[in-house]
Amino acid sequence: MLQGVGLKKYFPATRGLAVGRPRGWIKAVDGVSVQVAEGETLGIVGESGSGKTTLAKLFLLLERPTAGSLRFDGKAIEAFGRDDLAAYRRAVQAVFQDPYSSLNPRMRVEHIVAEPLPRDNGLSRAGVRDRVGEVLQLVGLRRDSAALYPHEFSGGQRQRIAIARALVTYPKFIVLDEPVSALDVSIRAQILNLLKGLQERLGLAYVMISHDLAAARYLATRLAVMYAGQLVETGECDAVYARPLHPYTQALLSAALPLHPSARRQRIVLTGEVPNPMNPPAGCRFHPRCPHAMPQCRTAEPVFKEVERGRFTACHLY
Amino acid sequence: MTPPLLVVDDLKTHFFTRRGITRAVDGVSFTLRAGETLALVGESGSGKSVTCLSLVRLVPEPAGRIVGGRVLLDGEDLLGKSPAEMRRVRGKQIAMVLQDPMTSLNPALTIGTQIGEVVRLHQGLRGASLRARALEALRRLRIAAAETRLGQFQHQLSGGMRQRVSSAIAMSCAPRLLIADEPTTSLDVTIQAQYLDLLKEVQQATGVAIILVTHDFGIVAANADRVAVMYAGRIVEIGSTLDVFNAPAHPYTRALLRCLPDIDARGGRLVEIGGQPPDLTRLPPGCPFAPRCSERQPRCETEYPAAVSIDDGHVANCWVAVAAGARPR
């Protein structure tokens, strides 16, 4: 349904005032090709600075790609006319991490939730109110919450309001940017269950950005692992967790702590830090931290290719 | 058996606000031995951080006040000390590492100045010996090129490096107790693993006792010897990490452990804990978890549960456990 081909997003790095030639380019997303099919959940995992949020912004048209293209239902976004764009914006919605900053404290819930509805939605006032009440019920809130302000709700309820706002335009596709990381542990399960239930009932597709590998596993059907602006591995979620191919994925999964004190896992401890996005290492971007680095990793950039059925990775080991 | 390093007995810290009295910490008791790690887990507002601040008497006044209890460090009551005496305890005997090193380090001072400040105040070192001690502190936390780092500012360091620097400052005067308040929340997963391993290494070398505040049960499982679960300002269950994970006695602990998505298993729906954490200004008379508890009994709504021993050193406050035959403490 949604497809990105060779997406790149570079931000100019300037010193002080943004005049003159930039000192360099921050390669936030550097050649990512990815697709999301109807009804599936693509989990995008990676550490901070790996480019996952920039990729989400590209999907939401909050940033325009420096290179590469985005296709929706077979049509390139660049070729979109006004009506296509409006339709895209209705079909693609977002839920952000922090429900304390993503809801305007001075707006009533009914206005927050109705805001994505286009001006000429053809609905009467009563029609809008009806739709708002309907989505509030969908996310497990009472219809009469519409008259309240965000501060009258707890963190978990606010995230439900944010989800209701995303649902109001009958979207096909929702970008979830760390949807539970700002919430309390006991509330996370409620929101994850709600998201899963909504997906089953409404046939939504999700892109879920997360650094919480356990939460990503719960929702995602397919997983994409990013490192330094590039994809290093994609595949069916269960297959990737059971047998990660790329050494970075292996290290990332092994660093996640098991939930029981007697469960000990073989831990691959990475040395060093995430590379500078302005000047990533030559060859494979992971080679300075990779326990399996070979001479060719320093010079040749590995190609992202299918190494097994449905399993893609960019690594010279395969 | 050696006497415990730290004894906290019925500690109460309340906040007096226009909306009423918030009982942030309402009768917390635990002990800690040298070289031991106790994890404090709970949701936001459960009183973990206020407990830690109370131990070093840094509760924001005048709204917040320690209204009762004792805190004994090596037998000396910290709550009876004068502000000047407390200043000699902080940094020297009890040190803290906070969640976000971006805000706990001073952006305008070099790393060297910030380590030097602590060492100069508590150990009276000057000049070359001060510098040598600062370098030693950085090297113990595995900071490469320590000489260069002394002259650098926090913005020149990565997140993981910053947290190691603030830990180096905390450990520079060889404290007896280290309070680490969510030390890895702002770090990436792979860096988090590095940091926690390093902290364990430092503990083995120095015998420092650690109070580790976290909401991540993975961190508890991997790093804590004992764990205390907090809810609405009280410890509802405390015990060795193995006991608590193997046989959680309090319904809240059980629910918390069950509602976490497990990275090793892809299941159906997660078990939810319904409802919201309680309002601390209007706590119910009985067990504060009762309104959300699936095993609630009539008694739970009227009377705060007694402490019962589940096993040696494993204690829970729950009427359900009492009814199940646990003996009162």
Q: For chain A, what is the HEC assignment?
A: CEEEEEEEEEEEECCCCCCCCCCEEEEEEEEEEEEECCCCEEEEECCCCCCHHHHHHHHCCCCCCCEEEEEECCEEHHHCCHHHHHHHHHHEEEECCCCCCCCCCCCCHHHHHHCCCCCCCCCCHHHHHHHHHHHHHHCCCCHHHHHCCHHHCCHHHHHHHHHHHHHCCCCCEEEEECCCCCCCHHHHHHHHHHHHHHHHHHCCEEEEEECCHHHHHHHCCEEEEEECCEEEEEEEHHHHHHCCCCHHHHHHHHHCCCCCCCCCCCCCCCCCCCCCCCCCCCCCCCHHHCCCCCHHHHHCCCCEEEEECCEEEECCCC
CA B217 to chain centre: 13
Q: Is B137 part of any domain?
A: no
Q: What is the pLDDT of residue B270?
A: 80
Task: For residue range A2-52, list pLDDT tens digits in order.
Answer: 898 889 999 887 766 556 666 788 888 999 999 999 999 999 998 887 888
Contact A214 B189 (CB under 8 A): no
| Domain membership of residue B310 as a residue range | 286-329
Q: Is B323 part of any domain?
A: yes
What average pLDDT does the segment A125-146 reach? Answer: 93
DSSP-derived letter for residue B272 is P
For residue A219, give both structure tokens.
Answer: 């929702």
Question: Going by C-beta distance under 8 Å and a sequence separation of 6 or more, which residues neighbour residue A253?
Answer: A213, A241, A244, B263
Number of domains in chain B: 1
Q: Beta A222-227 vs B314-317: how paired, if at all? A: unpaired
Helix A247-255 and helix B189-206: axis angle, to 10°? 50
Q: What is the pLDDT of residue A15?
A: 64
The minimum CA-CA distance between A221 and chain B, rounded to whole Å, is 11
- Across chain B, which distance is largest between two alpha carbons, in Å? 68
- Residue numbers of A between 54 and 83 with CB closer than 8 Å to B: none
Q: In this structure, which long-range contacts are made by residues B88-93, counting pairs with CB atoms below 8 Å and at least 24 apart in sequence?
A: B88/B122, B89/B56, B90/B56, B90/B58, B91/B118, B91/B121, B91/B122, B91/B173, B91/B175, B92/B122, B92/B173, B92/B175, B93/B175, B93/B176, B93/B177
Contact B276 A156 (CB under 8 A): yes
Q: Is A214 part of any domain?
A: yes
Give, in degrees to the nearest 5, the angle at Cα B181 between B115 and A256. 110
Rg (CA), chain B: 21
Q: What is the pLDDT of residue A280?
A: 86
Number of domains in chain A: 1
- Asked if the model's pLDDT at residue A176 lies above 70, the reply is yes
Q: What is the pLDDT of residue A198?
A: 95
Contact A214 B217 (CB under 8 A): no
CATH number (domain holding residue A133):
3.40.50.300
Which chain B residues are Cβ-neighbours of A185 within 8 angstroms?
43, 215, 217, 256, 259-260
Q: Is B304 part of any domain?
A: yes
Give, in degrees to the nearest 5, the angle at Cα B29 between B25 and B35. 115
Task: For residue range B161-178, list pLDDT tens digits in order.
Answer: 888 899 999 999 999 999
Residue given tokens 């459960």 in the structure block:
B46
> How many Å apart are CA B226 and CA B245, to the nearest integer?
10
What average pLDDT does the segment B209-230 reach? Answer: 93
Q: Is A301 part of any domain?
A: no
For residue B310, count CB atoms less than 10 angstroms from its CB and return exposed for 0-12, middle for 13-18, buried for 19 or more.
buried
Asked if A269 has any chain B CB less than 8 Å from its own CB, the reply is yes
Chain A residue with Cα closest to B214 = A185
For residue B41, count CB atoms less than 10 angstroms from its CB and return exposed for 0-12, middle for 13-18, buried for 19 or more.
buried
Residue given tokens 């603030």 in the structure block:
B166
Contact A189 B158 (CB under 8 A): no
- Out of A189, A251, A258, name the one closest to residue B270 (CB): A189
Asked if B192 has any chain A CB less than 8 Å from its own CB, the reply is yes
> For residues A133 and A77, which has the higher predicted lDDT (pLDDT)?
A133
Whether the complex's predicted ipTM is more than 0.95 is answered with no
> How many Å apart are CA B293 and CA B290, to the nearest integer?
5
Asked if B256 has any chain A CB less than 8 Å from its own CB, the reply is yes
Q: Is A41 part of any domain?
A: yes
Chain B residue with Cα closest to A242 = B264
With beta carbons less than 8 A apart as the criterion, state whether B236 and B250 touch: yes
| Whether the model pTM is above 0.80 | yes
With beta carbons less than 8 A apart as the criterion, state whether A94 and A174 touch: yes
- pLDDT-based confidence at B212, cuts 50/70/90? very high
Q: What is the pLDDT of residue A206?
A: 96
Task: For residue range B272-301, list pLDDT tens digits in order.
Answer: 887 778 888 888 889 999 998 988 999 999
- pLDDT-based confidence at A263, cuts 50/70/90? confident
- Across chain A, which distance is largest between two alpha carbons, in Å? 68
Give percent of chain B with pLDDT exceeding 70. Answer: 98
Q: What is the pLDDT of residue A166?
A: 96
Contact A273 B261 (CB under 8 A): no
Q: Is B250 part of any domain?
A: no
Give percent of chain A with pLDDT exceeding 90. Answer: 56
With beta carbons less than 8 A apart as the criterion, state whether B310 and B247 touch: yes
Q: Is A212 part of any domain?
A: yes
Task: For residue range B84-127, list pLDDT tens digits in order.
Answer: 999 999 989 999 998 887 788 999 999 999 999 999 999 888 88
Average pLDDT of chain A to the nearest whole number: 89
Q: What is the pLDDT of residue A208?
A: 94
Which chain A residues are Cβ-neighbours of B274 within 8 angstroms?
190
Q: DSSP string of B281-294?
A: TS--SS-TTGGG-T
Beta partners for residue B102, in sequence order: none
- pLDDT-based confidence at B5, cuts 50/70/90? very high
Q: What is the pLDDT of residue B325?
A: 73
Which chain B residues are Cβ-neighbours of A215 within 8 angstroms?
261
Asked if A26 has any chain B CB less than 8 Å from its own CB, the reply is no
For residue A182, give both structure tokens.
Answer: 């700002």
Q: Is A275 part of any domain?
A: no
Kindly report which listed range (A176-190, A299-313, B262-276) carries the lowest average pLDDT score. B262-276
Beta partners for residue B26, in sequence order: B12
> How many Å apart are CA B187 and CA A156, to the nearest integer?
24
The minimum CA-CA distance between B162 and chain A, rounded to whole Å, is 12
- Residue numbers of B between 53 and 82 with CB closer than 8 Å to A: none
Q: What is the pLDDT of residue B265?
A: 66
Asked if B242 has any chain A CB less than 8 Å from its own CB, the reply is yes
Q: What is the pLDDT of residue B266?
A: 63
Q: What is the pLDDT of residue A18?
A: 56
With beta carbons less than 8 A apart as the criterion, state whether A179 and A97 touch: yes
DSSP-derived letter for residue B273 is P
Q: What is the pLDDT of residue B30?
A: 95
Q: In this structure, which long-range contacts are made by residues A294-300, counting pairs with CB atoms below 8 Å and at least 24 apart in sequence?
A: none
For residue A51, give both structure tokens.
Answer: 């480019």
What average pLDDT does the segment A288-292 reach? Answer: 90
Q: Is A82 part of any domain?
A: yes
Asked if B143 has any chain A CB less than 8 Å from its own CB, the reply is no
Q: Is B300 part of any domain?
A: yes
Asked if B43 has any chain A CB less than 8 Å from its own CB, the reply is yes
Chain B interface test: which of A181, A254, A260 (most B C-beta within 10 Å)? A260
Q: Is A150 part of any domain?
A: yes
What average pLDDT does the segment B130-139 reach? Answer: 91
Contact A251 B219 (CB under 8 A): no
Asked if B189 has any chain A CB less than 8 Å from its own CB, the reply is yes
* C-alpha dihedral, B148 to B154 to B188 to A40, nearest 10°: -130
For residue B270, give both structure tokens.
Answer: 């997660």
Residue given tokens 């764990």 in the structure block:
B227
Contact A47 B190 (CB under 8 A): yes
Asked if B245 has any chain A CB less than 8 Å from its own CB, the reply is yes
> How many Å apart are CA B201 and CA B217, to the nearest integer?
21
| Domain membership of residue A50 as a residue range | 2-12+24-245+309-314
Task: For residue range A16-28, list pLDDT tens digits in order.
Answer: 655 666 678 888 8
Which chain B residues are Cβ-neighbours of A186 within 8 angstroms?
43, 255-256, 259, 273, 277
Chain A interface test: which of B191, B217, B276, B280 (most A C-beta within 10 Å)? B276
Q: Is B7 part of any domain?
A: no
Average pLDDT of chain B to the nearest whole number: 89
The minimum CA-CA distance between A194 and chain B, rounded to whole Å, is 10
Q: Is A225 part of any domain?
A: yes
> How many Å apart are CA B241 and CA B239, to the nearest integer?
6
What average pLDDT does the segment B243-263 reach? Answer: 88
